[in-house]
Structure 1
Amino acid sequence: MASKLFAPETRERAWLLYAWCRKCDDIADGQDHGGALSVVTDAQARLSDMRGLTDRALRGEPTGDPAFDGFGLVMRECAIPARYAHDLIDGFALDAADWRPRTEDDLLRYCYHVAGAVGCMMAVLMGVDPADEATLDRACDLGLAFQLANIARDIGEDAAAGRCYLPVAWLADLDLTPATLMTPAARPRLGILGRRLASMAAQYEESARHGTGALPARSAWAVLAAAGIYGDIAREVARRGEDAWDRRIVTPKRDKLGWVARAGWQVIGRGRRWPAGAARPAQLWVRPAA
């Protein structure tokens, strides 16, 4: 819904970039347009195919797959640094290696690879100079906020697929393991972890808003709407507590429309409310340098 707020050319470019992200995710997880996860027995082969098609697209060579060809087109048109595409694929490589985060820093590094890097690509797509590191930091923050909300919402689904993105250190602090995570006895402690993820997501969401001053008004409108819509997922996890995984959390359409309207007003005063020159909170994780 938020993408519809972009100017037409920006919207179509965003869709092309998203189509590649979605296709890579589907390849990695054996999904169909983000459907149910399936058991993947050839993860490394899938990863190799993904890298090969992506590199061909970046070179401007036809791949025979519209998602990759469209991706190559938008990367060239917008001069998006290829490092961010490679960083995203490195995130899929972590999953292919059955990687698990041990610390909070590990968790945030993973979030960078699978979402923060996309935020950086989107910022350049919207007209941000690739050398504007301060704005790219804020764009990365929004990706981190989105992924933290995803992880909080999907703890149950991930557990069913044999995955756990909660740091080992967090689990140990509450005497939990991936095997006991979804048991009835663990629910109160799981609620604590859900709120912890939601609190982190809120910090990164707020930081990201300071980058909207560098964007054209319509792009800022779309970004602020998306931040609110996705942020509501994390907020609902926190509100439900230990019941957050009884049914999948979604942001209802009426609430999405509410954020579209609210974001429209926020665009007008974004420079005063979220000044671009404000210092980024020192406690927030720092994305990898180029």
Structure 2
Amino acid sequence: MARPFWSGQIQISLVSFGVKLFPATEAKSEIHFHQISKKTGERVRHQKVSGGASGDEEPVEKDDIVKGYEYSKGEYVQIDPKEIANLRIPSRRTLELQQFVDLKDLDPAYFEKPYFVTPENESQAEAFATVRKALADTHKAGLGKIAMSGREHVIAISAPEDDSLPGLMGYELRYAEELRKPEEYFADIKTQKISEESLDLAKELIKRKSGKFEMEKFKDEYEAALRAMIEAKMKNVPLPKEEKPAKRGKVIDLMDALRASIGEGGKKPPAHESAGHGKAKSKVAVMPRRGAKKSSEKRRKSA
């Protein structure tokens, strides 16, 4: 098991109990690159240096490096990492849950990192379990702050959706000022009039492609392609060729594209010219279905 990322007390008013936070994620990529010289093939190594009074660069040992805050041009106040670690701030050791909110009110845009939260030891288990059950029954998350990794973070504590899991989940949240203003990006999007028929078709399409959330179905195809390329270079064989992107289909109006997507009528939708008459329709490109080309070839051969 990994070492705790943070340990301390969860405090709710006069109730407190010890917990440990473990990172809930890990990097799964097995491919790592080093920087090497193109000419020699040797690995490039980086050395920390400082500029001396004469302008010459001098190597600096790791133990001789401290942090420095530049309060004036070229003037620094030195800060030892131990001094930062010993800052007098309550959230270094105590996560005080200051407010409780409905889980549905937590905007996903604020979520940063997930953590597993466990009792510090057996003596803390009863209080831990009681608070966990209360959070699960009320569908609430507790908000508080903890200091770690050089800053103070907002943390949301909640019970897992799977009630069979006896622990708690902690979610590191972004501060409001860290999110860019969506209005700056959405300002140029004009309001569109949506027909009831096209909306019903879009809902039906979503319904037909809906299913249970199973993240295990999503795999990192990029890493697989990268590994195939590396293996080809190691064996000195031709590199795998990139698949050509699917050709864009004929441009038709939105309604026909939606009908074609859900197979309504079983007929191929007609292509409309861009200079049509009457009310302008939304134009979209219909992507050819997989295997459609092969099927058409078989039909021609059988004919």
The TM-score, its normalising length taken from structure 1, stands at 0.20
Larger Rg: 2
TM value normalised by structure 2 = 0.19
Greater RCO (CA < 8 Å, at least 6 residues apart):
1
Higher strand residue share: 2
Q: Which has the larger share of helix?
A: 1
